[in-house]
């Protein structure tokens, strides 16, 4: 713990205004809760330009009216000269570079460096990400990541010193409570029986192809069981069991998590896997790949399958459809497991890293070269 606790925290916030989920949600929750731990703390958010000041002020007031009152908003061009004790770079890069303040960077995962697509422009993109991450690690006093799995990956792929990496798990308890009645989304989709749920993007690591093969096997063997997909639609998919919900509000998503036979999370690579934690928090069940960070998040509350094995997944889905006692046990154990993922604990751990980074910074060069 720092001998003089941090009182002034700067945030490189050029993406915050437009990032409504993902990292943006993470940052807003941490900023909202740090003042409960340290009432005299103040923030400076560095945005793209002065034109974003009003909109950012409005967003902060929506998060917590008191947050706006303790926060200054400045253009990012002034960040290098900040007078803050520490600067938090939450979006995987350190840019612009603070000259004197301690630097903490969040490397949330290294999925952008996966070798899943060998087209030339993807190779170039991966190289750029690697250089960005290496620079961030070099400049940072401490590195935050969101799971023990991601910490090991940062060590393995970027050769980072494990002594400078800190793990702060994400929270899920800001998800609204599921509605008491039937889901309006299910009524719109015409679903009144068992269904499975998939949530997220469509990039290769999400592994939806394995889920689709498993659903084909399941439907062939036991009749129609729909799969509700929340997120972007695949214009090339022509699968009769898919029902596209598109992007849904958090309140609707919580109800879908609760009412689904299970959330199926087939991803082969996740830095954390927030939908799994959200589903358990809402009272739902999780069937997921036994890969990356997912076992760390779901623990013994879920059912697992090898990420590439559609047959094994189909068997798990059939089992959970048939076994009411299993479903009840997964719901109970999932609720207990979800208690680990609270934003107040994320904020507490993050603030401790900020304090530690100031102490680390005191032992380093007095000023960084800005390049």
In 3D, which of 17, 198, 188 has the Cα closest to residue 91? 17
> Do residues 347 and 334 both lie within one domain?
no
Mean pLDDT rounded to a whole number for the chain: 94
Residue 84 and residue 151 share a domain: yes
Q: Are residues 252 and 150 in the same domain?
A: no
Residue-wise pLDDT for 241-274, tens only, equals 999 999 999 999 999 999 999 999 999 999 999 9
Residue 1's pLDDT is 45
- pLDDT (mean) for 191-203: 93
Nearest CA-CA partner of 46 in 102, 107, 100, 90:
90
Of the pLDDT bands very low, low, confident and very high (cuts 50, 70, 90), residue 2 is very low
Task: Decide: helix, strand or coil at residue 43.
Answer: strand
C-beta separation of 123 from 145 below 8 A = no
pLDDT, tens digit, 9 for 90 and up, residues 204-232 = 899 999 999 999 999 999 999 999 999 88
Give the pLDDT mean for 45-59: 96
Tens digits of per-residue pLDDT, 110-135? Answer: 988 876 767 777 788 888 999 999 99
pLDDT of residue 369: 61
User: Residue 160 in contact with residue 134, Cβ under 8 Å?
Assistant: no
Q: Sorting pLDDT into bands at 50, 70 and 90, what band is 299?
A: very high
Q: What domain range includes position 323?
A: 184-338
CB 61 within 8 A of CB 32: no
Within 90-162, strands assigned E span 102-106, 142-145
**Phi–psi pair at 85, nearest 5 degrees:** -70, -35
pLDDT band at 339 (very low <50, low <70, confident <90, very high): very high
My answer on whether 98 and 21 are in the same domain is: yes
Q: Are residues 152 and 224 in the same domain?
A: no
Residue 236 is predicted with a pLDDT of 72
**Residues 318-329 pLDDT 10s:** 999 999 999 999
Report helix, strand or coil for 327.
helix
CA separation, residue 19 to residues 69, 196, 200, 300 (Å): 22, 28, 15, 32
Are 15 and 47 a contacting pair, CB within 8 Å?
no
Task: State whether 102 and 237 are in the same domain.
Answer: no
Interatomic CA distance for residues 242 and 225, integer angstroms: 9
CATH label of the domain that carries residue 78:
3.40.50.2000
3-state secondary structure the chain: CCCCCCCEEEEECCCCCCCCCHHHHHHHHHHHHHHHHCCCCEEEEEECCHHHHHHHHHHHHHHCHHHHHCEEEEEHHHHHHCCCCEEEECCCCCCCCCCCCEEEEECCCCHHHCCCCCCHHHHHHHHHHHHHHHHHHHHCCEEEECCHHHHHHHHHHHCCCHHHEEECCCCCCCCCCCCCCCCHHHHHHCCCCCCEEEECCCCHHHCHHHHHHHHHHHHHHHCCCCEEEECCCCCCCCCCCEEEEECCCHHHHHHHHHHCCEEEECCCCCCCCHHHHHHHHCCCCEEEECCCCHHHHHHHHCEEECCCCHHHHHHHHHHHHHCHHHHHHHHHHHHHHHCCCCHHHHHHHHHHHHHHHHHHHHCCCCCCCCC
146 occurs within a structural domain: yes
Q: Region 278-292: what's the mean pLDDT?
A: 97
User: In terms of domains, do 257 and 298 share one?
Assistant: yes
- Let me know whether 100 and 126 are in one domain: yes
DSSP code for 176: P
Q: What are the backbone angles phi and psi of residue 311, rounded to the nearest 5°?
A: -65, -45
Q: Are residues 13 and 44 in the same domain?
A: yes
pLDDT tens by residue, 356-368: 999 999 987 667 7
Distance CA(41)–CA(145), nearest Å, equals: 23
Same domain, 118 and 244: no
- Judge whether 1 lies within some domain: no
What confidence score (pLDDT) does residue 58 get? 96
DSSP class of 104:
E
Do residues 224 and 162 both lie within one domain? no
Is residue 3 very low, low, confident or very high in pLDDT (cuts 50, 70, 90)?
low
Mark whether 95 and 232 lie in a shared domain: no
pLDDT at 279: 98
Number of domains present in the structure of the chain: 2
DSSP E strands in the chain: the ranges are 8-12, 42-47, 71-75, 86-89, 102-106, 142-145, 165-167, 196-199, 227-230, 242-246, 262-265, 286-289, 303-305
């Amino acid at each position: 713990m720092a001998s003089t606790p941090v009182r002034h925290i700067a945030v490189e916030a050029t993406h915050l205004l437009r990032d409504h989920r993902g990292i943006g949600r993470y940052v807003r929750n941490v900023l909202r809760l740090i003042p409960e731990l340290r009432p005299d703390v103040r923030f400076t958010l560095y945005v793209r330009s002065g034109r974003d000041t009003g909109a950012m002020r409005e967003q902060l007031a929506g998060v917590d009216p008191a947050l706006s009152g303790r926060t200054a908003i400045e253009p990012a061009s002034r960040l290098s000269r900040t007078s803050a004790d520490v600067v938090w770079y939450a979006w995987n890069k350190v840019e612009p570079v603070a000259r004197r303040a301690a630097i903490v960077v969040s490397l949330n995962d290294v999925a952008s460096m996966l070798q899943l697509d060998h087209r030339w422009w993807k190779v170039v993109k991966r190289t750029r990400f690697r250089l960005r991450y290496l620079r961030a690690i070099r400049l940072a006093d401490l590195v935050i990541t969101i799971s023990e799995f991601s910490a090991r990956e940062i060590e393995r792929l970027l050769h980072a010193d494990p002594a400078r990496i800190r793990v702060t798990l994400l929270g899920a308890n800001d998800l609204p409570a599921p509605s008491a009645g039937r889901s309006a989304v299910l009524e719109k989709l015409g679903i009144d029986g068992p269904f499975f749920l998939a949530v997220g993007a469509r990039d290769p690591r999400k592994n939806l192809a394995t889920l689709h093969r498993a659903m084909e096997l399941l439907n062939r063997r036991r009749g129609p069981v729909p799969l509700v997909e929340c997120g972007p639609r695949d214009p090339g998919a022509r699968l009769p069991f898919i029902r596209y919900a598109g992007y849904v509000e958090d309140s609707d998503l919580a109800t879908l998590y609760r009412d689904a036979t299970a959330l199926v999370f087939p991803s082969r690579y996740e830095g954390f896997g927030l939908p799994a934690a959200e589903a358990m928090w809402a009272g739902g069940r999780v069937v997921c790949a036994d890969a990356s960070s997912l076992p760390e998040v779901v623990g013994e509350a879920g059912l697992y399958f090898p990420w590439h094995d559609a047959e094994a997944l189909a068997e798990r889905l059939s089992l959970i459809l048939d076994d009411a006692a299993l479903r009840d046990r997964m719901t109970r154990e999932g609720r207990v497991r979800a208690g680990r993922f609270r934003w107040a604990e994320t904020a507490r751990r993050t603030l401790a890293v900020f304090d530690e980074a100031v102490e680390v910074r005191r032992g380093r060069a007095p000023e960084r070269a800005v390049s």
